[in-house]
Every structure is written in structure tokens, then in C-alpha cells.
A = this chain, B = another copy of it.
């Protein structure tokens, strides 16, 4: 059983690091948001340093992300193109759930290279592998293209880019909603090669 205070500190640290970055986050601020007396140093009964809490935050988010992976529902496949659209919407949903991890990566890549590598492996590589499997499944012929891996990269890049642009500007590029985006992406994927 973990201390509830420890969990609140993790929540507070996650929130503040996403907003102000690691360097811009203060232990005092974490204490305050966690309901502890600001500047009291009570933080240090739970973590040895600011860096340690940052690593703990990342570990927790990585575990959560692993859990989300298993929750995808698999409806019956009717139209391949529609199945793709649904799949892409689920991917966007997944990205929204791991947004904290993505934000941490976007902010602090370079400060903790070891953690960056692990996030990369967990999110991108794993995402590509699963995406490949699903494309094979939803498009009976497999990706119709002479460079399937490049095509996969296009899919993953498009989903990631759409998600990040939305996060940065608060709206999607060109004000295209997720369902329109997913449908368009599915359409070009299902199209025969030029």
C-alpha cells in the first residue's frame, strides 16, 4: 500500500512539470499543490530530491500507458476502410490518455536521455508494431504499397502530428475534427497504390 500523500505529490509534480517544465517547477510549489505546507520540506519525507520525484512520475505514467494498451476494443470488421477509421480514432484516444507522457517527453527530452529512450520504445516502437498488425488485419491485402514500413511511418507520423498540433494550439490544424481526420487518413490508406 502506498502513502496517499506520496500519490498526491506525484500528481502535483506531474501537473507542474507539464506546465512549467522540470527546471521551472519548485519543491515548494509541489508541496503546496499536494496540500502540504509550502516550504515545509515535508516533501523530503517521501522523495530524496526533485530529480527522484521526476523519475517516479515518469515510471508511473509509463506503467499507466502499458495498461491503456490492452483496453482497445475490437469490433467486428465490416468495411475495411471504416474499420481503419475506427482504429485511428482509438489511436488518437490513446494518445490523449498518454498525453502527460508525451508532454513530459516534449519538455524534458535531452535532460534524462535514459528515460527518453524508454518512452520512445514504449510509445513509438510499440505503437508502430501494433499499428502494423492492425493494418494487416483491417486491410485484407495488407498495406498495398511497395514500401510498407514507410507507409506505416506515414500513419504513425500523421496521428502523432495531429495529436501534438492539437495540443499545442488548442485546436486541430485547419479546424478539422478527429473523425474527419481519421476518415481521410483511412481513405488514403485503403486506396490502391498509384
Contact = CB atoms under 8 A, between A and B. Distances in A.
Interface of A: 19-25, 81, 105-107, 109-111, 116-117, 120, 124-125, 128, 145, 147, 149-154, 156-165, 167-169, 172-174, 176, 180-181, 183-185, 187-194
6 contacts: A22-B24, A120-B169, A149-B176, A157-B173, A160-B165, A190-B194
A140 to B, nearest CB: 13
- The copy count of this chain in the complex is 2
B161 A156 contact: yes
B191 A150 contact: no
A159 B161 contact: yes
Contact of A169 (B124, B145, B169): B124
The DSSP consensus for interface residues of chain A is helix
Nearest to A188: B188
B21 A165 contact: no
Contacts of A185: 154
User: Ordered nearest first, which 9 A-B pairs have the shortest CB separation?
Assistant: A23-B24, A161-B161, A150-B184, A157-B161, A21-B21, A160-B161, A157-B162, A158-B158, A191-B191
Contacts of A193: 187, 191
Nearest to A146: B187
Contact of A154 (B125, B158, B192): B158
B153 A184 contact: yes
Contacts of A105: 168
A39 to B, nearest CB: 18
Contacts of A168: 105-106, 109, 116, 120
Given A23-B25, A153-B174, A190-B194, 13 more contacts: A21-B24, A24-B24, A106-B106, A106-B107, A116-B168, A124-B169, A150-B176, A151-B184, A153-B180, A154-B158, A160-B164, A161-B161, A187-B193
B189 A192 contact: no
